Amino acid sequence: MHSPAVLDNPLRLGTRLERTAEPCAVVIFGASGDLTKRKLVPALYRLYQQRLLAAEFAIIGLSRSPLSHDQFRNRMNDAVKEFSEARMVDEDVWHSFAQGIYYLSSDIGNPEDYQKLAALLEEVDRERGTQGNRLFYFSVAPRFYGEAVKRLSEAGLAKPKEGRWTRVIIEKPFGTDLETARQLNRQVLEHFSESQIYRIDHYLGKETVQNLLAFRFANGIFEPLWNRQYIDHLQVTNAESVGVEGRGSYYETAGVVRDMIQNHVFQVLSLVAMEPPANLDAEAVRDEKVKAMMAAREFTAERVRAECVRGQYGPGAIEGKPVPGYREEDGVASDSTTETFAMLTMYFDNWRWAGVPFYIRSAKRMPKRVTEIAIQFKEAPHQLYGDEVMEQVGPNQLIIRIQPDEGITLRFAAKVPDQITRIRNVNMDFRYGSSFGVELAEAYERLLLDCILGDSTLYARKDMTERCWEIVMPILTEWAASASKVDFPNYEAGTWGPSASHEVLERSNRRWRRP
């Protein structure tokens, strides 16, 4: 998936050499925040170490903290040592990298600071050879996006110079509901074109998520089975063992549907549900993802009540340690009705998926952290071995594990070597870690590099973000309207959610897989 903007390089053509990004300056708004030190700078440093960034590269951190260039560089050095996978820094290599790190103390609403930024970018172009290519990363709350893009535009920084590029990465949440999402998109699109906007969803940078496309479309054997003829249902589990981790105030305004399902889960789901694209160009892939989500059946109030379940965790224990309930967390109201668990039953009304339920659950304080897609196939049309022999055997399953321990498992029945006939389930495992023996790239490394290369395949498009909001709005509306009727908490921390979420499947003679 190469960007047409990358120069044809005669020394790279036909080789195994890695693609290298063009010269550019990455400007991080909100550089004093957590994301910069935990993810962004460690990822950029690692890309630099791997020679995937040009030597002509610079980072400019912006925030209100009064820091010098060197103070910011030192902070980033500490951050890389603490948060990078390797947890170690070669000081000489770091020094070389840090020569390209700059800092500007600034206020996001102050027009003068954008003039200073423009001047600094010119200086960096001269000193570092970044050639006028700019990437603006908004690591700030969405309420600041409108102001930031307007000021960038006023300072002449939104439109690229001839032959150069300017891009902007915005983080989720893309709005808090459909209307705010549309408003946010309008604000940003007023000053940047859609092709300049990269809406990041870090789940799309995970290796197994990318492998979904390869798995489905580079093999001839799975796609013929990938439909209602052979698949009984799908289960998507996105479980976290952690609680809100001190972010109670934010979580009170969000809940799991806004925080996880509307973005991460739906992005992954679209890759499972989509039709094969005509090619691997970013727009071809994203067109099919949106088309799949357009077929999602509407959630009526009746469907929400009958086929969706919400929950909130109470006190319990995780990995042998007692943990408080959600309502005891900092920043959370003692009578909070915010959901920390949500289960949805989705259908896609198209030829491929008609009648196949997609059971989705996402929650905090589950027994373990796991994100997986389990595809359960229909049973064999005629059981030759009889009920007694097959009693212990479950249906075939294809499990795609996104985190942790990324990989794919195919579960099928095999005969146990013996005189008598015994059939049992066996797993055929493919695990990234042990199969390729390579260190997996962190999601942000892949995504940042893709944006610098101009490849938007793994980024969310405007129509996709708005469609995902359209799907969940009836659920949020119905749950808000009936908030007074909830009986929370309704699941103990360290369990797999409210019993109602199991009953929905049991009504159809199905059950949740234990991941």
Partner 1 sequence: MQIEEQQSEIRFFPEGGIDVRKIEAELMSMWTEMSRPESGTDAPALTRACTLNLIVYTTELSDSAHLADILDEVARRHPARTLLLVTDRDSTETRLAAYVATRCQILGARTKQVCGEQITIEVAGNAVDLAASAIAPLLVPDVPVFLWWDDIPHQDDQLFSRILAMTDRAVIDSAAFDNPYDDLLKLDTLMRNGDSLISDLNWGRLTSWRSLTASFWDVADYRPHLDNIDKVIVEFQPPGVASDQVALQPLLLVGWIASRLSWKLESANFDKGNNITHISYLAPNHPVNVIICGSEYETQEIDPLKSIRLLYTTGRAEFSVILEDEGSKLETTAITPDRPAVQRLVACEAKSDGQRLSSELSFLKRDKVYEGAVSAAAEIIKAVRS
Region of 30-38, 208-216, 367-375, 431-439 interacting with partner 1 (CB under 8 A): 431-439
Using rule CB under 8 A, residue 88 touches partner 1: no
Q: Of 7-15, 151-159, 182-190, 265-273, which segment contacts partner 1 by CB under 8 A?
A: 7-15
Taking the complex as a whole, the smallest distance from the CB of residue 45 to partner 1 amounts, in Å, to 11
Q: State residue 309 phi and psi, 5-degree precision.
A: -135, 140
Of 13 and 384, which has the nearer Cβ to partner 1? 13
SS3 433: helix
DSSP string, 248-304: HHHHHTTHHIIIIIIIIIHHHHHHHHPPPPSSS-HHHHHHHHHHHHHTBPP--HHHH
The active-site residue, picked from 191, 202, 233, 264, is 264
Q: What gap in Å lies between CA 12 and CA 54, rounded to an integer? A: 14
How many residues of this chain interact with partner 1, rule: CB under 8 A?
39
Out of 3, 22, 356, 393, the only residue in the binding site for partner 1 (CB under 8 A) is 22
Residue 501 three-state SS: helix
**Measured over all CA atoms, what is the biggest interatomic distance in the chain, rounded to whole angstroms?**
84
* Among 43-51, 141-149, 238-246, 297-305, the segment contacting partner 1 (CB under 8 A): 43-51
131 binds partner 1 (CB under 8 A): yes
- Quick one: 322 or 404, whose CB is closer to partner 1? 404
Q: Could you say whether residue 16 binds partner 1 (CB under 8 A)?
A: yes
Work out whether 514 is an interface residue with partner 1 (CB under 8 A).
no
23 close to 133: Cβ distance less than 8 angstroms: yes
Q: Which is nearer to partner 1, 17 or 480 (CB)?
A: 17
Cβ neighbour number for residue 245 with a 10 Å cutoff: 11
Of 384 and 438, which has the nearer Cβ to partner 1? 438
Non-local CB neighbours of 155 within 8 Å, separated by 6+ positions: 111, 114, 115, 117, 118
What's the CA gap between 406 and 282, in Å, rounded? 24
264 is catalytic: yes
CA 206 to chain centre: 8
**With binding defined as CB under 8 A, does residue 283 bind partner 1?**
no
Quick check: 425 binds partner 1 (CB under 8 A)?
no
The residue within the footprint of partner 1, chosen from 2, 17, 179, 354 (CB under 8 A), is 17
CA pair distance 510, 345, nearest whole angstrom = 13
Considering only 33, 35, 107, 129, the residue that binds partner 1 (CB under 8 A) is 129
Please give the residue ranges that form the binding site for partner 1 (CB under 8 A): 6-7, 9-18, 20-23, 48-49, 51, 54-56, 90, 92-93, 95-96, 99, 126-129, 131, 163, 429, 434, 436-438
> Mind telling me the catalytic residues?
264
